Structure 1
Amino acid sequence: MTSPRKNLVTKEISYEDLKALLARSNNLLLVDVRTKEEVDKGKIQGSVHIPLDTVDAALAMAPEQFQAKYGVTKPQLDVPELVFHCQLGRRGDVATTKARQLGYVNARNFAGGYKEWSEKEKK
């Protein structure tokens, strides 16, 4: 059995790695934990909006409920590509920690957040 601490090394994902993952993976679940007002100003294409204060409840939903509410398949606990992000990284980190506590061992945070994404995408 591996120690959960071992995975902390890969708790964050860079802009470059996320961009590559979005380009090649059909299995990535990218969760935007910002407020609705923030999401209305722009979002990363393909992300699913689950506000930070509802992440626990969302990940505890039955798969059918999750699918009905968010329009995507609920991730399995060992899903390899589960990434959270917010505007600057802090809320994404909180969501990633919550997900890991619920058993999502590979959950990661895009620490640069939407701010870094939007800056780099405009170049």
Structure 2
Amino acid sequence: MLVLGTVLSTFITLIIGSDNLASLSFGKYFTYQLLPSYLLNAGIYTVLAKRNVVKAWNNALSVYLLSFIVGTVIVSILLQTLFIPPLWFVEVPLSIAFAIVGTVIGIKLGTQDSKEVEGP
């Protein structure tokens, strides 16, 4: 998940340009930078939850915390200082919301698939 998110963010930054990205309004920054990452993450959480419905919430929490910690450590090492995003108060709740939505969708899809396999 961390690798796919990094690839997506890097690709978007290359297309838009880091100078242009820094000067975007919050609405455009959200649309171009945050929303694609959140949608990708929600898709990954959906797949994880669909594969193992019983442990979906445990897996989602583990993946979220591990990704958050590893991402923060990597960025902090690269910047050589503890980095907390300036919009953390927006980004953290939104990322949690997308993780929850993805997990709920995955659980529903996994439950439907198991009902179809069992039959009437």
Normalising by structure 1, report the TM-score: 0.26
Relative contact order: is structure 1 or structure 2 higher (C-alpha 8 Å, sep ≥ 6)? 2
The structure where helix makes up a greater share of residues is 2
Please say which structure displays the higher CA radius of gyration: 2
Q: Which has the higher strand share?
A: 1
